Amino acid sequence: MLNRCVYFTPNGAPLYHPIRSSHVNSYVNYSTVQARAQSAMAAANSVRVAAAQMTSVNDIASNFATCSRLVKEAVSAGAKMLCLPENFSYVGSKSGDSLLIAEPLDGPIMQKYCSLARESGIWLSLGGFQEKGHDDAHLRNTHVIIDDAGNIRSTYSRAIETQCYVIASAQAGKHSEKRESYGETLIIDPWGTVVGRLPDRVSTGITVADIDFSLIDSVRAKMPIAKHRKPFDFWRPASL
């Protein structure tokens, strides 16, 4: 006689497995199914991300080659998003160099990264791109999010968040005779625990970690900081 045990896949669909009536077989099969169910639940509540560390130079093609290699490493590690550091595409050797290579978001440099994301099937968080400003004397340091279909989903210059995972991708090593970066790429969970770190502070590579959404919910439930925030008008000085 066959009994049935049910567990749920990440999309919520029930999946049935037959279990034989033997006590030993039932125990073994149930344990296996239980382990699969726990794994499925964990997968549904988390997503793997990667943080990249690199040494950008004043060579756009060379930097793109490095980023492409890091993307392949991230995909092989099962990451759904790779976070590249600020100035991922270019670091000038002298003041004013960035103005000379700055481009709009629909220019050839950004389009190559959009194609890279699409062809690799991974989201990219581009920490800081030299976007052309309103004239040749200005540029914007723009953070760009590209989805796995190669579409730009969001752009901004600064983000301040609380009770979140912090993915700190860093430049590292010597860019030129006059510029050097410290490195130390990290992924930190909402409790402040380092959950991802490159073994070498100045090496080029990636570190990966699973973003646990249930942990974020738990931290926010235990410390409801958002509920304690005062409205903007609260901080205005009282009129005399």
Eight-state DSSP code of residue 59:
-
Q: Quote the CA–CA distance of 228 and 62 in Å, as a whole number.
A: 48
- For 17-30, write each residue's pLDDT tens digit: 433 333 334 334 54
pLDDT value of residue 234: 60
Neighbours of 222 (CB within 10 A): 9
- ∠ CA 2-42-35, nearest 5°, is 30
More confident residue, 113 or 30: 113
Q: In Å, how far are 63, 129, 159 from 87, measured between CA atoms?
A: 10, 6, 17
pLDDT band at 37 (very low <50, low <70, confident <90, very high): low
pLDDT band at 84 (very low <50, low <70, confident <90, very high): very high
Q: What average pLDDT does range 175-183 have in this prediction?
A: 92
Q: Quote the CA–CA distance of 203 and 58 in Å, as a whole number.
A: 18
CA-wise closest residue to 81 among 206, 218, 200, 214 = 206
Task: For domain 47-222, say whether CATH 3.60.110.10 is its number.
Answer: yes
Whether 159 has a pLDDT exceeding 80, the answer reads no
pLDDT value of residue 227: 75
Q: What average pLDDT does range 195-212 have in this prediction?
A: 95
